[in-house]
Amino acid sequence: MEESAHLPLHRREHGPKDSRGKTCFGGSPSANFGNRAQTILSRAHTRATRLKVLRYFAFGVTRRIRAPMLLSFLMNILALHLHRTTELLQAEGKPSEVLQQVWVISDCVQNVLIRCYLTSFLGFLTGFILNNAFQRHTKGLECAHKMSIQLRTGADLCLDVWARAGKPSDEDLRQGQELLAWVKVYFIQACRGLHSVTLRSKPHALRRTTDQWDQFLESQVSLSETALAAVDAHSNVLVSTLQMELIWWRWLTGVLNAESLPGKAGTPPPAISEARKHFEAARSSYHEAHLMASGVSASPVTVWLLGGLMYFFCLSLPFLSVRSFGTWSFVPTLCTAFFYFGARQVGHDLWKPYGVDHPGVVDIELFARAGALCEQLDNMNELFEHGLYAPLEREPGDTHFQLVLEPRSLFSHTDLTE
């Protein structure tokens, strides 16, 4: 079951149906086992990622805003102490001019600035920042996900072209392995480039992330010295989409030429044209993801001004709430400070969709997607080497394929209960 649970996520939507209306490849329900098992694993991974994000919001953000929270708490103690001192002096008939001035100023701030302007301004601005941050976070990861699917689909089409001629020859196997290896290189280097853009202002985090991607690439891909030299030559300029495309398309044109593929001389098979379209779509998705990563962010002056306004509001709030709530003024003070400073921190983090410098949140998404794609490509290569790729009886425009055999090493169960 462990092996069948890692089958590649391709040829999914069309094909023969079983008695329950489920798609089954090769005419047997057992061939659909890998599809549904992979779906279960994907859902489990999604739940685990959501839990990591929730833990980050619950604990990571709280730790990072503990300084303003503590300052608000101490300011609330000071306001409560001054309020009680004022009441005692008034009860004894000894009002203090200094304390009276403090409460007069707080009344002015409450009546003029807080009620009329600052609260609505900060609320709107915080909501705007959070909304844009979550939009960038969601769209950025969606672009990376689309890119992985398009690369996998293009590679699937190319492998099927070689598999149509029968058992792949040694040259076909070499070309197929090189194709899958370069698909890995393209996606891994693309993810590395997205990280490089979002972490360009954090040299330490950038070096750490770059080393992680180098180790990941070395563990996934075995390339020739010429290919490695080409990758190294472009590793420092991955923020440029042009350099990324040059290394990819220069190689792809040589592999997907008409002479190396079955069919009429000088004419590439239709599936290769489809594969090129998917690779073009992957390049477009990378462009979109790159734009999300390198989008305009707030200037440091704006960040400082917003932080100053938030500190002013949260530190003046105890003097405004102590008269209404008394000892319970700690509740609105701490809740307001947590909301404003927490929202500001979350917005600041998620504004860079691929570069949250916090372990286990956004950056692990790119590593997880790269790992999943590499695993699927490895399984595709194994099927290709054993001659298990074969075209599915399909209508024009369909791009889904089935297995010729159902080896027990891949399908160890006859069915999968819901």
The answer as to whether 320 is a domain residue is no
Q: Does 220 share its domain with 148? A: yes
To 5 degrees, how large is the angle CA 106–CA 108–CA 114?
80
Average pLDDT over residues 48-77: 66
Q: Which helix (H) or strand (E) holds 340?
A: helix 330-350
Beta strands (DSSP E) in 272-416 are 389-391, 401-403
Query: Is residue 400 helix, strand or coil?
Result: coil
Q: Are 169 and 32 contained in the same domain?
A: no
Q: Is residue 68 part of a domain?
A: no
**pTM (whole model) above 0.85:** no
- Give the number of domains in the chain: 2
Domain range enclosing 34: 1-51
**Statement to judge: residues 140 and 234 lie in one domain:** yes
pLDDT digits (tens, 9 = 90+) for 179-193: 888 788 888 888 887
Residue 46 lies in a domain: yes
Alpha-carbon distance 176 to 245, whole Å? 20
Check pLDDT > 60 for residue 195. Answer: yes
Per-residue b/e over 114-124, b at no fewer than 16 CB within 10 Å? beeebeeebee
Whether residue 108 is found in the same domain as residue 29:
no
Query: What's the pLDDT at 196?
Result: 74
Q: Could you tell me which residue, 382 or 59, shows the higher pLDDT? A: 382
The verdict on 174 and 251 lying in the same domain is yes
Which pLDDT tens digit goes with each residue over 140-173?
777 888 888 888 888 888 887 777 766 777 777 8
In a domain, 341, yes or no: no
pLDDT tens-digit readout, 77-87: 777 777 777 77
Residues 281 and 355 in one domain: yes
Beta strands, E only, 280-400: 389-391
Rounded distance, CA 9 to CA 45, Å?
15
Specify whether 101 is located in the same domain as 46. Answer: no
Considering the domain architecture, whether residues 39 and 183 belong to the same structural domain is answered as no
